[in-house]
Amino acid sequence: GKSFTLQKLSLQAFEGLDIVFFVSTNQVSLDWAPAAVAKGALIIDNSKAYRMNPDVPLVVPEINGDQIFPHPGIIANPNCSTVQTVMALFPLAKRYGLKRVVVTTFQSVSGSGKQAVEQLRAERKGELNTGSNVYPHPIFNNCLPHIGNFLENGCTDEEIKMVNESRKILDLPDLPVTATTVRVPVEYSHSVSVNVELEANFNIEDVRNLYRHTAGIILKDAPAQNIYPLPRDAMGRDDVFIGRLRRDESVPFGLNMWVVADNLRKGAATNALQIAEYRLKF
Protein backbone atom coordinates (compact mmCIF):
# COMPACT_ATOMS: atom_id res chain seq x y z
CA GLY A 1 0.00 0.00 0.00
CA LYS A 2 3.03 2.30 -0.02
CA SER A 3 4.00 4.68 -2.81
CA PHE A 4 7.58 5.13 -3.94
CA THR A 5 9.12 7.75 -6.18
CA LEU A 6 11.22 6.36 -9.01
CA GLN A 7 14.11 8.29 -10.44
CA LYS A 8 16.14 7.83 -13.56
CA LEU A 9 19.34 5.86 -13.11
CA SER A 10 22.27 8.23 -12.79
CA LEU A 11 25.49 8.67 -10.84
CA GLN A 12 23.69 11.04 -8.51
CA ALA A 13 21.16 8.33 -7.64
CA PHE A 14 23.87 6.45 -5.71
CA GLU A 15 24.80 9.40 -3.48
CA GLY A 16 24.52 8.56 0.22
CA LEU A 17 23.49 4.93 -0.28
CA ASP A 18 25.06 2.16 1.81
CA ILE A 19 23.66 -0.86 -0.07
CA VAL A 20 22.35 -1.08 -3.63
CA PHE A 21 20.54 -4.11 -5.05
CA PHE A 22 21.00 -4.63 -8.78
CA VAL A 23 18.06 -6.64 -10.16
CA SER A 24 18.34 -5.98 -13.87
CA THR A 25 20.23 -7.18 -16.93
CA ASN A 26 23.85 -8.26 -17.03
CA GLN A 27 24.74 -5.18 -19.03
CA VAL A 28 23.15 -2.78 -16.54
CA SER A 29 25.19 -4.39 -13.76
CA LEU A 30 28.39 -4.21 -15.80
CA ASP A 31 27.78 -0.57 -16.71
CA TRP A 32 26.59 0.79 -13.37
CA ALA A 33 27.76 -1.38 -10.47
CA PRO A 34 31.35 -0.05 -10.54
CA ALA A 35 29.99 3.49 -10.51
CA ALA A 36 27.88 2.74 -7.45
CA VAL A 37 30.91 1.20 -5.71
CA ALA A 38 32.87 4.36 -6.47
CA LYS A 39 30.18 6.30 -4.61
CA GLY A 40 30.77 4.13 -1.54
CA ALA A 41 27.90 1.65 -1.83
CA LEU A 42 27.99 -2.10 -1.32
CA ILE A 43 26.47 -3.78 -4.38
CA ILE A 44 24.43 -6.99 -4.21
CA ASP A 45 24.03 -8.10 -7.80
CA ASN A 46 21.40 -10.62 -8.88
CA SER A 47 22.61 -10.93 -12.48
CA LYS A 48 25.26 -13.36 -13.69
CA ALA A 49 27.61 -10.53 -14.67
CA TYR A 50 30.05 -10.92 -11.76
CA ARG A 51 29.37 -14.43 -10.45
CA MET A 52 32.52 -16.02 -11.82
CA ASN A 53 34.74 -12.97 -11.36
CA PRO A 54 37.53 -14.19 -9.05
CA ASP A 55 37.52 -10.86 -7.22
CA VAL A 56 33.78 -10.97 -6.47
CA PRO A 57 32.36 -13.21 -3.71
CA LEU A 58 29.48 -15.48 -4.76
CA VAL A 59 27.56 -15.85 -1.55
CA VAL A 60 25.01 -18.04 0.16
CA PRO A 61 25.20 -16.68 3.73
CA GLU A 62 24.67 -20.04 5.46
CA ILE A 63 27.69 -21.39 3.58
CA ASN A 64 30.24 -18.65 2.96
CA GLY A 65 28.84 -15.61 4.73
CA ASP A 66 32.33 -14.81 6.01
CA GLN A 67 33.13 -13.52 2.50
CA ILE A 68 30.56 -10.74 2.86
CA PHE A 69 32.56 -8.76 5.39
CA PRO A 70 34.69 -6.71 5.11
CA HIS A 71 34.31 -6.91 1.31
CA PRO A 72 33.92 -3.30 0.10
CA GLY A 73 32.52 -3.65 -3.42
CA ILE A 74 30.32 -6.11 -5.32
CA ILE A 75 28.79 -9.31 -3.96
CA ALA A 76 27.13 -11.67 -6.44
CA ASN A 77 23.87 -13.49 -5.77
CA PRO A 78 23.98 -17.04 -7.21
CA ASN A 79 21.72 -18.69 -9.76
CA CYS A 80 18.41 -19.79 -8.23
CA SER A 81 18.79 -23.55 -8.70
CA THR A 82 22.41 -23.38 -7.56
CA VAL A 83 21.41 -21.89 -4.21
CA GLN A 84 19.14 -24.74 -3.17
CA THR A 85 21.57 -27.35 -4.47
CA VAL A 86 24.56 -26.08 -2.50
CA MET A 87 22.39 -25.66 0.59
CA ALA A 88 21.83 -29.42 0.41
CA LEU A 89 25.45 -30.25 -0.41
CA PHE A 90 27.28 -28.07 2.11
CA PRO A 91 26.43 -30.04 5.30
CA LEU A 92 27.45 -33.25 3.52
CA ALA A 93 30.70 -31.69 2.35
CA LYS A 94 31.62 -30.72 5.90
CA ARG A 95 30.67 -34.06 7.45
CA TYR A 96 31.58 -36.64 4.81
CA GLY A 97 33.35 -34.93 1.92
CA LEU A 98 32.08 -34.84 -1.68
CA LYS A 99 33.46 -37.10 -4.40
CA ARG A 100 31.02 -36.48 -7.29
CA VAL A 101 27.69 -34.71 -7.80
CA VAL A 102 24.99 -35.29 -10.44
CA VAL A 103 21.98 -32.96 -10.51
CA THR A 104 18.85 -32.78 -12.62
CA THR A 105 16.71 -29.70 -12.16
CA PHE A 106 12.99 -29.30 -12.73
CA GLN A 107 12.63 -25.53 -12.91
CA SER A 108 9.41 -23.55 -12.83
CA VAL A 109 8.46 -21.08 -15.53
CA SER A 110 8.74 -18.08 -13.19
CA GLY A 111 12.48 -18.51 -13.60
CA SER A 112 11.97 -17.17 -17.13
CA GLY A 113 9.97 -14.16 -15.94
CA LYS A 114 6.40 -12.90 -15.87
CA GLN A 115 5.78 -13.49 -19.57
CA ALA A 116 6.59 -17.19 -19.17
CA VAL A 117 4.06 -17.52 -16.34
CA GLU A 118 1.48 -15.83 -18.56
CA GLN A 119 2.32 -18.25 -21.40
CA LEU A 120 1.72 -21.26 -19.15
CA ARG A 121 -1.57 -19.84 -17.89
CA ALA A 122 -2.75 -19.04 -21.41
CA GLU A 123 -1.88 -22.51 -22.68
CA ARG A 124 -3.62 -24.08 -19.69
CA LYS A 125 -6.80 -22.23 -20.71
CA GLY A 126 -6.42 -23.41 -24.29
CA GLU A 127 -5.59 -20.01 -25.73
CA LEU A 128 -3.83 -19.92 -29.09
CA ASN A 129 -0.18 -19.03 -29.61
CA THR A 130 0.05 -15.25 -29.89
CA GLY A 131 3.55 -15.25 -31.36
CA SER A 132 5.08 -13.74 -28.22
CA ASN A 133 5.88 -16.96 -26.38
CA VAL A 134 9.01 -17.32 -24.29
CA TYR A 135 9.65 -20.96 -25.14
CA PRO A 136 10.21 -22.66 -28.52
CA HIS A 137 7.54 -25.26 -27.69
CA PRO A 138 4.34 -25.29 -25.63
CA ILE A 139 5.12 -25.61 -21.93
CA PHE A 140 1.70 -26.77 -20.69
CA ASN A 141 1.62 -30.58 -20.36
CA ASN A 142 5.22 -30.59 -21.50
CA CYS A 143 8.83 -30.61 -20.30
CA LEU A 144 11.61 -28.82 -22.14
CA PRO A 145 14.97 -30.61 -21.68
CA HIS A 146 17.08 -27.48 -21.77
CA ILE A 147 17.29 -24.07 -20.11
CA GLY A 148 19.36 -21.34 -21.69
CA ASN A 149 21.47 -21.48 -24.81
CA PHE A 150 23.16 -24.59 -26.14
CA LEU A 151 26.95 -24.58 -26.17
CA GLU A 152 29.31 -26.40 -28.52
CA ASN A 153 29.68 -29.32 -26.11
CA GLY A 154 25.91 -29.93 -26.04
CA CYS A 155 25.42 -28.50 -22.56
CA THR A 156 23.45 -25.34 -21.91
CA ASP A 157 24.77 -22.22 -20.25
CA GLU A 158 22.38 -22.84 -17.34
CA GLU A 159 23.99 -26.23 -16.75
CA ILE A 160 27.48 -24.76 -16.87
CA LYS A 161 26.40 -22.05 -14.43
CA MET A 162 25.29 -24.70 -11.95
CA VAL A 163 28.60 -26.54 -12.24
CA ASN A 164 30.87 -23.53 -11.93
CA GLU A 165 28.87 -21.68 -9.28
CA SER A 166 28.57 -24.76 -7.06
CA ARG A 167 32.31 -25.26 -7.12
CA LYS A 168 32.95 -21.61 -6.27
CA ILE A 169 30.46 -21.38 -3.41
CA LEU A 170 31.59 -24.66 -1.85
CA ASP A 171 35.26 -23.72 -2.42
CA LEU A 172 35.80 -27.05 -4.19
CA PRO A 173 37.21 -25.97 -7.57
CA ASP A 174 37.96 -29.53 -8.72
CA LEU A 175 34.71 -31.16 -7.60
CA PRO A 176 33.26 -33.35 -10.39
CA VAL A 177 29.77 -31.95 -11.03
CA THR A 178 27.39 -32.52 -13.93
CA ALA A 179 23.94 -31.04 -14.45
CA THR A 180 20.87 -31.39 -16.64
CA THR A 181 18.35 -28.55 -16.45
CA VAL A 182 14.70 -29.01 -17.41
CA ARG A 183 11.85 -26.48 -17.65
CA VAL A 184 8.56 -27.86 -16.31
CA PRO A 185 4.94 -26.60 -16.32
CA VAL A 186 4.98 -25.37 -12.71
CA GLU A 187 4.54 -21.67 -11.97
CA TYR A 188 6.73 -21.28 -8.89
CA SER A 189 9.45 -23.26 -7.04
CA HIS A 190 12.30 -25.28 -8.47
CA SER A 191 12.93 -28.96 -7.73
CA VAL A 192 16.31 -30.68 -7.99
CA SER A 193 17.15 -34.37 -8.02
CA VAL A 194 20.57 -34.65 -6.42
CA ASN A 195 22.80 -37.71 -6.61
CA VAL A 196 25.99 -37.35 -4.60
CA GLU A 197 28.87 -39.72 -4.03
CA LEU A 198 30.49 -39.07 -0.67
CA GLU A 199 34.07 -39.61 0.43
CA ALA A 200 33.09 -41.51 3.58
CA ASN A 201 30.41 -43.94 4.68
CA PHE A 202 27.21 -42.63 6.23
CA ASN A 203 24.03 -43.68 7.96
CA ILE A 204 20.77 -42.37 6.49
CA GLU A 205 19.39 -41.46 9.90
CA ASP A 206 22.56 -39.49 10.66
CA VAL A 207 22.05 -37.57 7.42
CA ARG A 208 18.45 -36.84 8.41
CA ASN A 209 19.61 -35.52 11.78
CA LEU A 210 22.25 -33.44 10.06
CA TYR A 211 19.59 -31.71 7.98
CA ARG A 212 17.22 -31.36 10.93
CA HIS A 213 19.85 -29.24 12.66
CA THR A 214 20.93 -27.17 9.65
CA ALA A 215 19.67 -23.58 9.50
CA GLY A 216 17.59 -22.80 6.44
CA ILE A 217 16.66 -26.43 5.73
CA ILE A 218 13.39 -28.21 6.47
CA LEU A 219 13.42 -32.00 6.31
CA LYS A 220 10.29 -33.64 4.86
CA ASP A 221 11.26 -37.27 4.58
CA ALA A 222 8.54 -39.80 5.38
CA PRO A 223 7.82 -41.18 1.91
CA ALA A 224 5.75 -44.11 3.20
CA GLN A 225 3.27 -41.48 4.43
CA ASN A 226 3.64 -39.50 1.18
CA ILE A 227 5.58 -36.80 2.99
CA TYR A 228 8.26 -35.26 0.78
CA PRO A 229 9.04 -31.80 -0.62
CA LEU A 230 6.53 -30.39 -3.11
CA PRO A 231 6.85 -27.20 -5.19
CA ARG A 232 3.48 -25.90 -4.01
CA ASP A 233 4.48 -26.30 -0.36
CA ALA A 234 7.72 -24.40 -0.88
CA MET A 235 6.03 -21.49 -2.66
CA GLY A 236 6.31 -18.31 -0.62
CA ARG A 237 8.70 -19.88 1.88
CA ASP A 238 12.32 -18.91 2.55
CA ASP A 239 13.57 -22.39 3.43
CA VAL A 240 15.04 -25.21 1.36
CA PHE A 241 13.07 -28.46 1.65
CA ILE A 242 14.84 -31.84 1.47
CA GLY A 243 13.41 -35.36 1.29
CA ARG A 244 13.45 -38.75 -0.49
CA LEU A 245 16.77 -39.49 1.21
CA ARG A 246 18.03 -42.91 0.20
CA ARG A 247 21.21 -44.76 -0.61
CA ASP A 248 22.47 -45.07 -4.15
CA GLU A 249 23.56 -48.70 -4.11
CA SER A 250 25.48 -48.39 -7.41
CA VAL A 251 28.48 -46.84 -5.61
CA PRO A 252 29.97 -47.42 -2.13
CA PHE A 253 28.91 -44.11 -0.55
CA GLY A 254 26.11 -42.84 -2.79
CA LEU A 255 23.13 -40.75 -1.68
CA ASN A 256 19.99 -39.59 -3.52
CA MET A 257 17.71 -36.77 -2.46
CA TRP A 258 14.97 -34.41 -3.68
CA VAL A 259 15.47 -30.69 -3.01
CA VAL A 260 12.78 -28.02 -3.45
CA ALA A 261 12.79 -24.25 -2.90
CA ASP A 262 10.94 -21.14 -4.02
CA ASN A 263 13.14 -19.78 -6.78
CA LEU A 264 11.95 -16.22 -6.19
CA ARG A 265 12.62 -16.35 -2.44
CA LYS A 266 15.70 -18.30 -1.31
CA GLY A 267 16.70 -18.63 -4.96
CA ALA A 268 16.80 -14.87 -5.44
CA ALA A 269 15.28 -12.15 -3.22
CA THR A 270 15.63 -13.83 0.17
CA ASN A 271 19.26 -14.75 -0.39
CA ALA A 272 20.05 -11.19 -1.50
CA LEU A 273 18.37 -9.76 1.59
CA GLN A 274 20.19 -12.23 3.82
CA ILE A 275 23.48 -11.01 2.36
CA ALA A 276 22.52 -7.44 3.29
CA GLU A 277 21.37 -8.47 6.77
CA TYR A 278 24.59 -10.38 7.37
CA ARG A 279 26.61 -7.33 6.38
CA LEU A 280 24.60 -5.00 8.59
CA LYS A 281 24.84 -7.41 11.52
CA PHE A 282 28.61 -7.07 11.58
Helix crossing, 204-212 with 80-95: angle to 10°? 120
Q: Which residues pair with 41 in a beta bridge?
A: none
Q: Which of 71, 137, 143, 190 is labelled catalytic?
A: 190
Rounded to the nearest 5 degrees, what angle is found at the Cα of 276, between the Cα atoms of 270 and 282? 135
Annotated catalytic residue within 71, 80, 146, 155: 80
Which residue type does 126 have?
Answer: G
Concatenated DSSP letters of 213-281: TSTTEEE--BGGGTB---HHHHTT--SEEEEEEEEETTSTTEEEEEEEE-TTIIIIIHHHHHHHHHHHH
Angle of the 157-170 helix axis to the 80-95 helix axis, nearest 10: 40
Whether the ω angle into residue 70 lies within 30 degrees of 0, i.e. cis, is yes
190 is catalytic: yes
Q: Tell me if residue 80 is catalytic.
A: yes
At 9 the three-state DSSP class reads coil
Residue 1 is given by DSSP the state -
Catalytically annotated residues: 80, 190
